[in-house]
Amino acid sequence: IYNLTGHIKIQHPSFEADPAVENFVSAPANILRRAKAIPGVAAVLPRLRVTGVIRSERESRPITLVGIRPSIEGVHSLAGATPIDGQALTESDDHGLVLGKKLVEDLKTKVSRRVVVMTQDVENEIADQGFRIVGAYRSEVETTERQFAFTGIETLRILVHVPSDSYHEISIMVSDENLLEDVARELQYLFPDASVKTWQELQPLIVSMVKLQSGFLFIWFLIVIVSAGFGLVNSLLMSIFERIRELAVMNALGMTRFWIVVETMMQSFFLLSFGALAGVGAGMALLSSFDTGIDVSAFSKGTSVVGIGNRIFPLILWGDVLGIVVLLIFLGTLGCLYPAWQASRVKPSRALQRL
């Protein structure tokens, strides 16, 4: 989402398959204001995006040149990030160029040096222009640093001759992801001839990975719960063997088998409940120590393939926590039916044999 995708993206219907410079959408200022006024919309970020080649005095590399409005990108996207070297873009007509740190290294150049960008305009003519590198940004994904370069949107518009009030993409940020589908429907009404897609539709690989991981975690949790259930059954059976005299006394005093089963099941229920609460508390305490994220830079080569950064921030989903706790208590209590049945079968005569 942060790497220029946004929560929702508006594009020409053909742009995703053919990112040609002439595949733009028209969005006058009043339409952008109406989009920003939709409930749940946090930011509307229009951009121009073209592919091209960048050349330094030593090397050349393919890039995606993105024209932005620096004043509104802010914290919403990578384009508004503060460069680690040099300065950020300030105006829509800024003629500077902000490159990724890795791209600067690949070009064997540095901030304040000049480079030439070559691309194609809407008339299918070669368009090139010299830019001065004003800053270098750092991304958690190296491929992003090597791919994207940023300049002022009006500077790029003049270079490739895109009409005013036209954009290659309009990225929408929402304040609440629960409103994603509602906002997308409103935007489709505003842009009937454009493609309006949520980030799940734009990044199906990541969505599939999340679903696969969720399925794997469910199987793993089930294995853990079943294993814990066997341990609990064993513990309760041992407890019953140690409490034969106590159970026999309750039987002799008139406690029916039904209530002996209930008493044993309640014992299991409370053991599981307190254990689950202790586990959740310990888990929250552990996650609080990872408030700065978990460093997975050792696996950066693999994570960068799917656009995952070098740092993962754990998030507690209370719905999942509640589901696991309920499943644990239910299956654990169900697994204690056999020990409870055994407890209800204890006879006073058997207890006398153990005196």
User: Do 167 and 77 share a structural domain?
Assistant: yes
Report yes or no: 43 and 173 within 8 Å, Cβ to Cβ.
Answer: yes
Structural domain including 163 reads 8-202
pLDDT at residue 184, rounded to an integer? 93
User: Which tokens hold the place of 280?
Assistant: 């959740």
Based on the fold, state whether residues 132 and 231 are members of the same structural domain. Answer: no
Q: Residue 2 domain-assigned?
A: no
Containing H/E element for 96? strand 96-100
**Same domain flag for 90 and 231:** no
Q: Tell me, what's the pLDDT at 306? A: 54
**Along the 355 residues of the chain, how does pLDDT read in single tens digits?**
677 888 999 999 999 888 899 999 999 999 999 999 999 999 999 999 999 999 999 999 999 999 999 988 887 888 777 778 888 898 999 999 999 999 999 999 999 999 999 999 999 899 999 999 999 998 877 888 899 999 999 999 999 999 999 999 999 999 988 889 999 999 999 999 999 999 988 888 888 887 888 888 888 888 887 787 787 778 777 777 777 777 777 777 777 888 888 888 888 888 888 888 898 888 888 888 777 777 766 665 555 555 566 677 777 878 878 888 887 788 777 777 877 787 777 776 665 665 5
Final residue belonging to a domain, choices 202, 226, 258: 202
3 is a domain residue = no
Q: Do 89 and 26 contact (CB within 8 A), yes or no?
A: no
Q: Are residues 90 and 164 in the same domain?
A: yes
Q: What pLDDT does 234 receive?
A: 80
Domain end: 202, 236, 263, which one?
202
Alpha-carbon distance of 50 to 28, in angstroms, equals 21
What does the alpha-carbon distance between residue 90 and residue 247 come to, in Å, rounded to a whole number?
Answer: 80
What is the Cα–Cα distance from 77 to 89, expressed in whole angstroms? 14
Residue 300: the pLDDT is 59
**This prediction's pTM:** 0.73
23 and 150 in a common domain: yes
Quick check: is 340 in a domain?
yes
Whether 1 is in a domain gets the answer no
Q: Report H helices in the chain.
A: 29-36, 70-73, 101-106, 142-147, 153-160, 180-190, 199-202, 204-242, 244-252, 257-288, 300-303, 318-335, 337-344, 348-353
Residues 244 and 314 in one domain: yes
Tell me, yes or no, whether 101 lies in a domain: yes
Q: Which of 202, 235, 257 is the last residue of a domain?
A: 202
Output the pLDDT for position 136. 92
Which residue, chain included where needed, has tokens 């942060």? 2
| Same domain membership, residue 147 and residue 104 | yes
- Both 172 and 216 in one domain: the answer is no
130 and 235 share one domain: no
- Taking the CA atoms of residue 315, residue 294, residue 280 and residue 231 in that order, the dihedral angle to the nearest 10 degrees is 130
* Residue 209 and residue 170 share a domain: no
Domain count, the chain: 2
pLDDT digits (tens, 9 = 90+) for 103-117: 999 999 999 999 999
Q: Please report the pLDDT score of residue 303 as a whole number.
A: 55
